[in-house]
Structure 1
Amino acid sequence: MVLCSWFQVKKAFFALVANGVRAAPLWESKKQSFVGMLTITDFINILTRYYKSPMVQIYELEEHKIETWRELYLQETFKPLVHISPDASIFDAVYSLIKNKIHRLPVIDPVSGNALYILTHKRILKFLVDNELWPTQTEELGVGTYNNIAYIHPDTPLITALSVFTHRRVSALPVVDHHGKVVDIYSKFDVINLAAEKTYNNLDVTVTQALRHRSQYFEGVMKCNRLETLETIVDRIVKAEVHRLVVVDEESRIIGIVSLSDILQALVLTPKNN
């Protein structure tokens, strides 16, 4: 799916929901080229930037075109479209994803300029596992984030959670009770439900209330412990089709997070002698 930059922002996000995708390339007819990606992160940025109260409509989301939002947003930070050619290696793709801290990498034909497909961390990891292009020996897990972990509580206001996404640049937030135990997880993908149900005008609700509107069946938080091997971790992520595991202790208290980015960096980018 490709979106034109003159689409209304609201309709563009509805299109993402209707097609069951998390992002789409942006085409600008004036330049006759792809100029960026529209993602759930953009939706979160709009909400956190313009939300005032449940009584005030978010005009910028209702009326702005994508190109208007991009002009306002890019005044603060210009980020050209990061893409790759179909002839590039898996190493190049992983390096580009991690270096640029992005989750989707458009593959664009250099001759025609057409967007062929979009590479993600999950697709690359599944390819590596299916083709056994990763270390077959087991090894103790040495990747992940274990300090200054971003998390929220069940009673955290939704607008606060969205702000954490923006400032910490994370794709999911473990929901931790006041005893430190992991009870749920709120991801960027869950935010798109606000567009699907048109409930984005009230962001003062708690995270627990927002999670009641999940559009898909939720099996629970996928967890692991620090003693499990990298092979076990990868197998669990691939089978569960999730983007991260929450590392917990014996009492389900949060210790850290292991993400697809962490694993790909360990498997592909980290030198073997390290």
Structure 2
Amino acid sequence: MTSRAKRIHSLVVKTFFFFVLFLKHWQASVFIRGFLISLDRDRNVYTRFMKSHRCYDLVPTSSKLVVFDTSLQVKKAFFALVSNGVRAAPLWDSNKQCFVGMLTITDFINILHRYYKSPLVQIYELEEHKIETWRGENLSTINFLPFLCRSLYDAVSSLLKNKIHRLPVVDPLTGNTLYILTHKRILKFLKLFISEMPKPSFLSQTLEELNIGTFRSIAVVHADTPLYTALGIFVEQRVSALPVVDDKGRVVDIYSKFDVINLAAEKTYNNLDVTVTKALQHRSQYFEGVLTCNRHETLEAIINRLVEAEVHRLVVVDEHDVVKGIVSLSDILQALVLTGAEEGKYSPS
């Protein structure tokens, strides 16, 4: 072989060698990009699920919806909530011919806390006022948007952004409220399909690793805390439940906003000087005990427990049952749907 032929052969070999290296690098790059895209898809699987389903997917074929006219007396409205076993009701203004807000247990708490004076003084505002008398000042303000055809992602975003627990599903054609969406119903719907979707790796991570939940300035009460004080904490700190702890900080019970409606059921709201323990004796439903978890449990385990027990939150405790935090349905939905829990973007409330 001549020297010229050798040089040509050497050049061909080098070119082929570099082409092979380039091809391998390109294939590896494509594989990595595909792998990263796959990871991104898995990471956002619940976000995509929520965006692909509409609010009407959650509307049952049959459900109870109680609607109050704003001319109704406040006391009668809360009694009606109790008798119908619901926690909230849309408000209809006959003069404006439209829905103008929601009546919730939070409103009942606000009225009691604002107007209560002593067991000897009747709460006139609760006994005599109509809803329309003080609606603009006290009642929950909710925009009745036509959410029927909107995505569940929009619904979750609205719930979390506005820090509300209920969202009316309104028919855009008739303006009628068809259903009330809640965190619990949305998470339960997601759980029905969760086994059919790719399982993101962050489901196997712990609350501590994902930094999900509230672990600072946890509002608690003691067994002898006056009920009026507990109502004040609900109003001022905007929490939905208060762990009841003993003198060592161990959780022994929990007093939630829903428990307050029992005051209307028992007609005992004129004496708010009683202790939280006394008030809890009027629970209308059997109480199985405080549902807890620890920071070392996986997100998947937490979701399963919340859905199966049909509760709104778990009390986070240590090995001695001392309260360390709260993880709520809103925390879970925020992490799953809006922020990407596995990226550590979630900031506790």
TM range (shorter): over 0.9
Alignment partner of 2:147 out of 66, 70, 85 = 85
1:153 to 1:87, Cα distance in 2 relative to 1, 3 A: same
| Separation of aligned partners in 2, 1:106 and 1:177 | 39
Q: Which residue of 2 aligns with 1:17?
A: 82
Q: Which letter does structure 2 place at the counterpart of 1:264? A: L
Bigger share in helix: 2
Q: Which residue of 1 aligns with 2:239?
A: 170
Q: Does 1:123 align with 2:185?
A: yes
3-state SS of paired residue (1:38): strand
Q: Is contact 1:84–1:105 with CA below 8 Å preserved after alignment?
A: no
Match of 2:330 in 1: 261
* SS at structure 2 position matched to 1:131: helix
Of the structure 1 ranges 79-88 and 27-36, higher mean CA displacement relative to structure 2 is found in: 79-88
Distance 1:98 1:135, change over 3 A: farther
Retained in 2: the 8 A contact 1:86–1:108?
A: yes
Report the secondary structure of 2:271's partner residue. Answer: coil
Query: How far apart in 2 are the matches of 1:23 and 1:83?
Result: 17
SS in 2 for 1:86: helix
Contact 1:4 1:29 survives alignment (8 Å): yes
- Counterpart check, 1:180 vs 2:246: no
**Structure 1 residue 150: Cα displacement:** 1.1
Query: In structure 2, what is the equivalent of residue 99 of structure 1?
Result: 161
- Give 1:160's aligned residue: 229
Q: Distance in 1 between matches of 2:129 and 2:120?
A: 19
On the 8 A contact 1:84/1:93 being kept in 2, the answer is no
- Residue 38 of structure 1 corresponds to 103
Give 1 or 2 for the bigger CA radius of gyration. 2
* Match runs of 1:225-244 below 5 Å: 225-244=294-313
Map Cα deviations across residues 233-265 of structure 1 (whole Å, 9 max, x no partner).
Answer: 010011111100000000000000000000000
Q: Select which of 192, 196, 218 maps to 2:287.
A: 218
- Could you give the per-residue CA deviations for residues 41-66 of structure 1, whole angstroms, max 9, x where no partner exists? 00000000000000000010000000
State the match for 1:109 in structure 2: 171
Give 2:214's aligned amino acid: T
Q: How many residues align?
A: 271
Judged with a 3 Å threshold, the aligned counterparts in structure 2 of structure 1 residues 67 and 256 are, in CA distance, closer, same or farther, namely: same
RMSD value, Cα = 1.5
Using the size of structure 1 for normalisation, the TM-score is 0.95
Distance in 1 between residues matched to 2:293 and 2:100, nearest whole Å = 39
**Cα distance, 1:209 vs. partner?**
0.4
**SS of aligned partner of 1:236:** helix
**Structure 1 residue 85: Cα displacement:** 1.5
Change (3 A) 1:31 1:70: same
1:80 positional shift:
4.6
Unaligned runs of at least 5 residues, structure 2: 1-65
Name the amino acid aligned to 1:190. D
The equivalent position to 2:205 in structure 1, one of 139, 156, 166, is 139
Provide the rounded CA distance (Å) in 1 between the counterparts of 2:325 and 2:144. 29
Identity among equivalent positions (%) equals 70
Letter in 2 for 1:213: H
Q: So what's the TM-score if we normalise by structure 2?
A: 0.75
